[in-house]
Amino acid sequence: MSYEQLQEAAAAIAERTGRESHQAAVVLGSGLSDYAASLDDAIEIPYSEIPFFPEPRVVGHGGSLFSAPVGDGAVLLFAGRVHTYEGWDLDEVVFGVRTAALTGASSILLTNAAGGLGDGFAPGDLVAIRDHLNYTARNPLVGMNDDRLGPRFPDMSEVYSKRLRGLLERAFQTASVSYREGVYAWFLGPSYETPAEIEMVKRVGGDLVGMSTVPEAIALNHMGVDVAGISLVTNYAAGITDAPLSHEEVTETAAEARERFTAVLDALLPLLVKG
């Protein structure tokens, strides 16, 4: 990944959408990707038509970027993301959100499905990410630093912006959806965690586990972009109950929670665009 490639992708998005800039972006997690197409006047660009964009390796779902007018501006929405466990390099995993930042997006929301560690983090719950733990020993900033993107040693003391967490609070209130804040622990996957790993995460203060979001958050924090994260708890993490984990449970819970999640996004997008 180079800065020039990011610029080329951002220029292609400007050309295809006829919009010189987008003020905000949203990465839609598992079960949420239909949200983008439901927005009025959304323009769809398949990832395959954007230079250097990686395409998700799930049969039949190449992924698309949407551009939708919101308030006085416009939002980019990622329907489909690539994961590190699919074998992508981290600079490919973060390419899309870095491009969004170059189109002008200064507030970016990352959403995902996650396992909940109990004690109030139960299936169906929506959680605003307050901070994260990185259990992969990987980092998208490894390698030569490009100073045009950000500093060599970026501060990480407020990755999930307090300002955006304030906007999330307002959006949840407007949508009459209850939520809480929590700490998200990133595991590589694709196997789910063991009960011993979940016990470890619990002891150090983690509330959620998942296989995405953190690389994007690190890369955007590096660029000085304000980041927010929302997890939908789709299942109890391993060992919290006796039940084995299954991908079916994850997708079923995501489908059940869609209406609430959608109401929150409807309330949040205008706030993100206004800044």
| Chain positions contacting ligand HPA, by CB under 6 A | 113-115, 187, 192-193, 209-211, 234-235, 237, 245, 250
Contact 271/171 with Cβ under 8 angstroms? yes
Q: Name the one residue in this structure whose structure tokens are 């955007």.
A: 220
C-alpha span between 202 and 118 (Å, rounded):
9
Query: Which one from 9, 113, 114, 254 is the annotated catalytic residue?
Result: 113
The reply to whether 247 belongs to the active site is: yes
Of 101 and 233, nearer to ligand HPA (C-beta) is 233
Of 104 and 239, nearer to ligand HPA (C-beta) is 239
The reply to whether 212 belongs to the active site is: yes
Query: Which one from 85, 139, 181, 200 is the annotated catalytic residue?
Result: 85
Return the amino acid letter for 146.
D
The reply to whether 235 belongs to the active site is: yes
Contact 170/267 with Cβ under 8 angstroms? yes
- Bridge partners of residue 241, in order along the sequence: 238
- Least Å distance, CB 239 to ligand HPA, is 10
In terms of DSSP bridges, do strands 43-46 and 107-116 run parallel, antiparallel, or are they unpaired?
A: unpaired
Of 103 and 234, nearer to ligand HPA (C-beta) is 234
DSSP assignment string, 211-222:
SSSHHHHHHHHH
Closest CA to 269 of 93, 82, 70, 86: 70
Of 1 and 232, nearer to ligand HPA (C-beta) is 232
- Least Å distance, CB 113 to ligand HPA, is 4
Query: Which one from 44, 86, 158, 181 is the annotated catalytic residue?
Result: 86
Name the residues annotated as catalytic: 30, 61, 83, 85-86, 113, 211-212, 235, 247
